[in-house]
Structure 1
Amino acid sequence: MTPDSKPQKVPAQEQKWPGTTSAMDPPPDHGEDNYTGRERLVGKRALITGGDSGIGRATAIAFAKEGADVAIAYLPQEQADAESTKEVVQSVGRRCVLLATDQRTEEANTRLAADAVAGLGGIDVLVSNAGFQMAHTGGIADFPSGQLEQVFETNVFATFWLTKALVPHLGPGSSVIITTSIQAYNPSEPLLDYAATKAALNNLMVNLAADLGPKGIRVNAVAPGPIWTPLIPSTFDAEKVASFGADTPLGRPGQPVEVAAAFVFLASDEASYVSGTVLGVTGGKAIF
């Protein structure tokens, strides 16, 4: 699992939100061919939100190659990417349950939790990864109506509601892993609302770790830096996309498979004494 480490320039491009994997140039690396499993998640059952593409897809593939069965949640308009992810997971002999869900209400998350438990016969790992962002360069004075609600409902509220719904089904040794971001530590002005949600998720993670630790449930977060996923060309303009990731010490955007390895570690028994922490995968940018 070693993507090309040389600095790579991403061509200028844009997509309509939420974007599709097939339209990306270059295609992102989800580990379909180069991730090697080592049986670290054998027998585990995982629900991964935003599992159709990007970091979620790579995590689903890595989990499957490590021996886990997975359920993936995704927006209904992302069905094609979800089906593609399912094909890869099944090709390595694991189950994949598809659960099209818009997570912006508590009822939707309650239903998602129930369907995931029913589909896999239980849940051992929750990866709350689904997220929404939309760059806005005009500042707060003309901030788009409704965007703040969408980004907080998708990123923060859904994580809270889904975790709440799944806790009765999680036993000792279970794990909750939340996708936060470098934006929580080094926020960009065009993403002021998104960055705020990621800081909130870091705080939520710490409190959940304290709350659920006595039950034997570990809670952690992964904070990616600039990762090449459909979210990028569908939420930034072409000029921004063309320079994406160039400001990291490694001089390039990361690939989804490079983040998936962090989720594998935190979900595995190797991380049995790791809880309440953030693992950064940022290309060299500091998180503190």
Structure 2
Amino acid sequence: MTFPLSESVESQAAVTLTDPRDLYPQPPFPDQSQSPPGLTKEMDPTPDHGEKSYVGAGKLRGLSAIITGGDSGIGRAAAIAYAREGADVMISYLNEDRDAESVAELIKQEGGKIALHRGDLGAPDMAEHLIDAALREFGKLDILVNNAAFQSTGDDAEDFSNEEFEKTFRTNVFAPFYLSKAALEYLPAGGSIINTVSIQAFRPSPQLLAYAATKSALTSLTKGFAKLAIERGVRVNGVAPGPVWTPFIPTTMPTEKTAKFGGHTLFGRPAQPAELAPLYVWLASPEASYVTGEVYGATGGSTPL
């Protein structure tokens, strides 16, 4: 027995397959460095967040989301994808006004609804302020994406000051906890929390000592919080990226490492943020209704999770 395709499917162009190793630029990259937190437009090559490639299908239509760190990198790609899937989006960011305003302008031009919230997520009261802002703007909250992070690099233990270590934990662990705890009061059954962890949780680099420790903690928090949240029908999952071409790289890594960034993966290149966005969409959508407490790797084949 054969089943005819619908007219809409028949009219669509055929899928074109491309060798994934050749989809995006490979190292070596040009010499470059920026002061933290860095700006997207000053990177060479410019990261791809799906501005021209992501096509929505209504998977999140009518939902509302908070995405932390949504001004650049993975958060920016997720914000664009969520908006094109029909969600209202609030992005929080530290102080990168130019990046935040550029993604907001893109989404508004396409008819999407987006709001911006500036501030340091490491402050304990920021979680309540952000949740309240989203509720005032959208009237409800269905999805929380804890994506914002801080990292620094060093060659010796002495390179990581106590203050910097604490700041890394405040941003990467405390903030997701504060936000998840505050959001759980408002997320409906079927809602979801998605945490950006990292390959560093499973394969820590000594040069990223503090960052790796926080991502290990966040992975544990993801799995533990999932067991509490499901009592309210809320799913909690994580995405563990490998090397991704974001402002993190030229602002925190030595020039020689930036030039070779991602070359060690099976693809011979880093991921672009646009390649991560579909995971965040799927995990937030009803299609992932039986998925919680999981961590999905997108590491370029660097390690099994």
Change (3 A) 1:84 1:6: closer
Alignment coverage as a number of residue pairs = 286
1:106 aligned counterpart, secondary structure = coil
Quick one: distance in 2 between partners of 1:287 and 1:130?
Answer: 24
Other-structure match for 1:126: 144
1:168 aligned counterpart, secondary structure = coil
Name the amino acid aligned to 1:256: P
Other-structure match for 2:102: 84
The one-character-per-residue Cα deviations of 1:124-181 (angstroms, maximum 9, x if unpaired) are 00000000001111x2234224110110000000000011111111110100000000
The normalised TM-score by structure 2 is: 0.91
Candidates 278, 281, 286, aligned match of 2:298: 281
The one-character-per-residue Cα deviations of 1:195-234 (angstroms, maximum 9, x if unpaired) are 0100101100011110011211000000001000011111
Name the amino acid aligned to 1:208: F
Q: Which runs of 5+ in 1 are unaligned?
A: none
Other-structure match for 2:3: none
Quick one: distance in 2 between partners of 1:88 and 1:218?
Answer: 30
Name the amino acid aligned to 1:46: A
Other-structure match for 1:198: 215
Candidates 260, 263, 279, aligned match of 1:262: 279
Change (3 A) 1:110 1:78: same
Quick one: distance in 2 between partners of 1:268 and 1:69?
Answer: 14
The one-character-per-residue Cα deviations of 1:65-105 (angstroms, maximum 9, x if unpaired) are 11111000001x20110000101111221110100021112
Q: Which runs of 5+ in 2 are unaligned?
A: 1-15
**Contact residue 7 and residue 251 of structure 1 kept, 8 A:** no
Following superposition, the deviation at residue 287 of structure 1 comes to: 3.3
CA RMSD, Structure 1 to Structure 2 (Å): 1.4
Quick one: distance in 1 between partners of 2:158 and 2:75?
Answer: 34
Alignment of 1:226 with 2:251, yes or no, is no
Candidates 166, 173, 177, aligned match of 2:194: 177
Name the amino acid aligned to 1:79: D
Other-structure match for 1:58: 77
Quick one: distance in 1 between partners of 2:269 and 2:182?
Answer: 38
Alignment of 1:21 with 2:40, yes or no, is yes
Following superposition, the deviation at residue 7 of structure 1 comes to: 5.9
Other-structure match for 1:71: 90
Moved over 2 A (4+): 1-7, 141-145
1:240 aligned counterpart, secondary structure = helix
Alignment of 1:110 with 2:122, yes or no, is no
Other-structure match for 1:11: 30
Quick one: distance in 2 between partners of 1:39 and 1:6?
Answer: 27
Identity %: 50
